């Protein structure tokens, strides 16, 4: 009887011991990516989240460069940052779709330590009704433009010497975690950033360059204000279920995620739940964190499945109301 009890204990304790041993082998080391006295290059930096990022990074002691298309808005942003921080930033006018213009701006700005790809465009409309050029424009700016920037910045980032770990951060969206009615092309462009980010993390980790994906909810920006005027009513119903954020709030979460080398950065509670509900077990997860996510994912996916199941009823209701 005693031998059976000892065998039972052995069978019970051995897996536990192996799991503990595995945890100590696979847990990632804490990462600290400094901002102070480093070059932070931010696209879409003339307004909204980009401007808030530039302001906060400047206050953190970074040397900041911002890029956008409109020269006048860039100068307004520079004046605003100077007034609120007492420091100057470098400004560069370029369209992210133009690889040569982007490369020239990066070369002029100098080697980048932290690249924040914040630019983005969106227009809510059913794909069937949306002009093909409008859909292509979103993909060209949001996805191809990001690739142009990263390719331009990588040579300098890889040759930065002993200046510590570097970072590439991409501002995605909660529409890059789950598809949203009326945002088919936009969601496709933002989902593409996740594949880009996961691949880059594998390609660049040997160069001590870390990748972060940021998933903000609807944010009070000039672009969002314009979108409100034209998007379908069902979009308003869906988006109303997520709490909006201010640009400064998103910027603070983003910079904290960059500094800690976090791969997947949710900006609010809804975003955290989306990460779990969509089984987003990404590169920054420790064993313990992913184990807990696995436990929660079953419950949350049941809830999410019910939510998705209710969506067709909402669509049918809106169609009937529009007739």
Report pLDDT digits (tens) over 252-263.
Answer: 999 999 999 999
241 is catalytic: no
131: helix, strand or coil: coil
Fold of 31-297: Rossmann fold (3.40.50)
Among candidates 133, 112, 124, which has minimal Cα distance to 232?
124
Of the candidates 46, 65, 172, 173, the residue annotated as catalytic is 172
Are 192 and 143 within 8 A, CB to CB? yes
Distance separating alpha carbons of residues 231 and 215, to the nearest angstrom: 21
Q: Compute, in degrees rounded to 10, the torsion defined by CA atoms 249, 255, 259, 262.
A: 70
Over the stretch 112-170, which tens digit does the pLDDT of each residue have? 999 999 999 988 888 888 899 999 999 999 999 999 999 999 999 998 776 789 999 99
Delimit the domains of the chain by residue range. Answer: 31-297
For residue 190, indicate whether it is catalytic: yes
pLDDT of residue 1: 54
Low-confidence spans in the chain with pLDDT less than 50: 281, 286-287, 297, 308-309, 311-312, 314-319, 322-323
Residue 186 annotated in active site: yes
Q: Angle of helix 48-59 relative to helix 247-259, nearest 10 degrees?
A: 50
Tell me what pLDDT residue 218 has: 82
Catalytic residue among 47, 186, 189, 212: 186
Residue with tokens 């019970």: 12
pTM of the full structure: 0.79
* Distance separating alpha carbons of residues 274 and 270, to the nearest angstrom: 6
Q: What pLDDT does residue 123 have?
A: 85
Residues in Cβ contact with 30 at an 8 Å cutoff, skipping those fewer than 6 apart = 260
């Amino acid at each position: 009887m005693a031998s059976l009890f000892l065998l039972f204990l052995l069978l019970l304790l051995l897996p536990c011991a192996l799991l503990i041993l595995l945890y100590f082998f696979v847990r990632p080391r804490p990462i600290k990516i400094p901002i102070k006295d480093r070059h932070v290059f931010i696209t879409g930096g003339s307004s909204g989240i980009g401007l808030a990022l530039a302001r906060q990074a400047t206050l953190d002691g970074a040397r900041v460069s911002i890029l956008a298309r409109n020269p006048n808005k860039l100068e307004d942003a520079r004046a605003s940052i100077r007034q609120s921080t007492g420091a100057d930033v470098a400004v560069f006018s370029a369209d992210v779709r133009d690889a040569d213009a982007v490369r020239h701006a990066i070369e002029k700005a100098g080697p980048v330590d932290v690249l924040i790809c914040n630019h983005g465009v969106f227009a809510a409309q059913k794909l069937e009704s949306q002009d093909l050029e409008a859909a292509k424009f979103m993909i060209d700016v949001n996805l191809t433009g990001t690739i142009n920037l990263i390719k331009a910045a990588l040579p300098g980032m890889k040759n930065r010497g002993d200046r510590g770990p570097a970072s590439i951060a991409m501002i995605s969206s909660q529409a890059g975690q789950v598809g949203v009615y009326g945002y088919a092309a936009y969601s496709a462009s933002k989902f593409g950033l996740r594949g880009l980010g996961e691949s880059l993390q594998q390609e660049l980790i040997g160069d001590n360059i870390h990748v972060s994906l940021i998933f903000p909810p609807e944010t009070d920006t000039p672009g969002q204000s314009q979108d409100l005027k034209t998007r379908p009513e069902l979009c308003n119903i869906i988006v109303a279920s997520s709490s909006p954020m201010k640009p400064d709030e998103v910027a603070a979460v983003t910079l904290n995620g960059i500094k800690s080398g976090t791969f997947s950065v949710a900006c609010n509670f809804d975003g955290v739940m989306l990460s779990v509900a969509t089984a987003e077990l990404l590169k920054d997860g420790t064993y313990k964190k992913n184990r807990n996510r696995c436990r929660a994912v079953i419950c949350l996916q049941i809830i999410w499945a019910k939510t998705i199941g209710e969506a067709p009823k909402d669509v049918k209701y809106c169609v009937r109301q529009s007739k």
